[in-house]
Amino acid sequence: MPLSQRSTLTQFLIEERRRFPDASGDFNALILDVALACKAIARSVAFGALGNVLGNHGGGDSVNVQGETQKKLDVISNEMFLRANEWGGHLAGMASEEMDGPYNIPRQFPRGKYLLVFDPLDGSSNIDVNVSVGSVFSILRAPQAVIDSGRDVTAEDFLQPGAQQMAAGYALYGPTTMMVLTVGTGVHGFTLDPNLGEFKLTHHNIQVPPDTQEFAINASNSRFWEAPVKRYVDECLAGRSGPRGKDFNMRWIASMVAEAHRILMRGGVFLYPRDTKDATKPGRLRLLYEANPIAMVMEQAGGRASTGRAPVLGVQPTGLHQRIGLVFGSRHEVERIERYHAEPVAVKDDTPLFAERSLFRDCVA
Question: What are the domain boundaries of the chain?
Answer: 3-203, 214-342
Q: Which residues pair with 230 in a beta bridge?
A: none
Rounded CA-CA distance 131/126 in Å is 5
Report the range of poorest mean pLDDT among 39-48, 173-182, 278-287, 345-354. Answer: 345-354
Domain 3-203 CATH superfamily: Fructose-1,6-Bisphosphatase, subunit A, domain 1 (3.30.540.10)
Segment holding 148, helix H or strand E:
helix 144-149
Each residue's pLDDT tens digit, 333-361: 999 999 999 997 665 544 444 444 444 44
Are 189 and 202 spatial neighbours (Cβ–Cβ below 8 Å)?
A: yes
Q: How many Cβ atoms sit within 10 Å of the Cβ of residue 349?
A: 8
Rounded CA-CA distance 81/160 in Å is 21
Residue 347 pLDDT: 53
For residues 158-182, average pLDDT: 97
Are 283 and 272 spatial neighbours (Cβ–Cβ below 8 Å)?
A: yes
Q: Among positive and negative, which fits the CA dihedral 280, 282, 285, 290?
A: negative
Say which CATH architecture domain 214-342 belongs to: 3-Layer(aba) Sandwich (3.40)
Each residue's pLDDT tens digit, 268-316: 999 999 999 988 888 999 999 999 999 999 999 999 999 999 999 999 9
State the Cα torsion 40-43-45-50 to the nearest 10°: -130
Residue 130: pLDDT band (50, 70, 90) is confident
Do the first three CATH levels of 3-203 and 214-342 match, i.e. the same topology? no
Are 95 and 145 spatial neighbours (Cβ–Cβ below 8 Å)?
A: no
Tell me 291's DSSP state: I
Instruction: List CB contacts of 147: < 8 A, sequence separation 6 or more.
Output: 92, 113
Answering whether pTM is above 0.85, one says yes
Each residue's pLDDT tens digit, 138-156: 999 999 999 999 999 999 9
